[in-house]
Structure 1
């Protein structure tokens, strides 16, 4: 049975995402907040399917603080965005997607690189595994994955300019998956950008919920 979007699943993603980025999540009773220590100490607050009242409460607080970001995971995106119109909020991203995949169908073998000029490096820090792909010493692509209970949480799957459309995104994902399947993970989880969603769908990932970001 596949994953379904709920607050517990969002908390799992936040835990894994934070582990790979060195963040510390904090539940303040209204939302889960994370201080983005690598982004000028901005604070990002996360909500899952809030009521309109809960959303407007956090949106108002976000409007009043230029260092706050509000990220909402929902399948009522347009309704909530419309509710915030009187506040004059800026919707800075409305094309992210919470996605999952059944890890039981994933390949356990290390993938072959898409070219002889590519080399793969692996390292692990705490619960997070990292892979880096280089071409003649130059950074070509990278990505990370952490383990949270039975979930594998993927993060920052990036292909550098000049190396795109060469299959490196798929290669990084498969290399991360081959490594993380050493653990008893059953489900993959990630937050996809609009650009990344097509790649993940090609690899068998399923959309669970929309994600949008607003600030004051």
Structure 2
């Protein structure tokens, strides 16, 4: 299975991300979705399935509270001039990516231990060293036939040892075991290299913007 178009992939990403983070149910609108996240530095987010200057300008002018985020599937240089005062692009260029999910054998590198568990619709995997120190992690939320990979991280001291590949294979295996056939994720520029090596492909550019704290200077 693959997504018929980017809009379908975005909807799957929004739904799975909300499950992964324990956020509120996404609320649809003509331009996309709004999700109440409820964290001090991430109160809510707007995800635009289609972005244009008029829509972005209206949303960012109306959202004046700090820690409101916006996600749009356009490059940073396109989004930046559309933002109202007080908003800024955050995190650099990212990508929406997808791949088919298949079960596969995973081999844990020598000197590491792997633990995987599921709760409330989310499967998490954790890689630790032999003495118990953190090495890598990731999680995946299954929503029907699709699944969202989220929060994949490898400690810098343990990079280039196959742990990112191990995490991705473990998550894909867990999702495939729950009848998910296609995965989607939001990738940073650094993460994109790993995901491409294990068979993921870019569907669209992804840019994040956030409303900063405090009064806006004239």
Match in the other structure for 2:107: 112
For the residue of structure 2 that corresponds to 1:110, the secondary structure is: coil
Is 2:118 the partner of 1:124?
Answer: yes
Match in the other structure for 2:167: 172
Match in the other structure for 1:61: 62
C-alpha distance in 1, partners of 2:41/2:78? 31
TM-score, scaled to structure 1 = 0.86
C-alpha distance in 2, partners of 1:121/1:19? 21
Alignment gaps of 5+ in structure 2: 212-218
Match in the other structure for 2:79: 80
Match in the other structure for 1:102: 100
C-alpha distance in 2, partners of 1:33/1:111? 37
C-alpha distance in 2, partners of 1:207/1:41? 26
Contact residue 33 and residue 47 of structure 2 kept, 8 A: yes
TM-score, scaled to structure 2 = 0.86
Match in the other structure for 2:13: 13
Q: CA deviation at 1:9?
A: 2.2
Contact residue 114 and residue 125 of structure 2 kept, 8 A: yes
Q: CA deviation at 1:156?
A: 0.7
Alignment gaps of 5+ in structure 1: none
Contact residue 6 and residue 204 of structure 2 kept, 8 A: no
C-alpha distance in 2, partners of 1:59/1:5? 26
Contact residue 145 and residue 182 of structure 2 kept, 8 A: yes
Contact residue 94 and residue 211 of structure 1 kept, 8 A: no
Contact residue 133 and residue 139 of structure 1 kept, 8 A: yes
Indicate the RMSD between aligned Cα atoms, in angstroms: 2.1
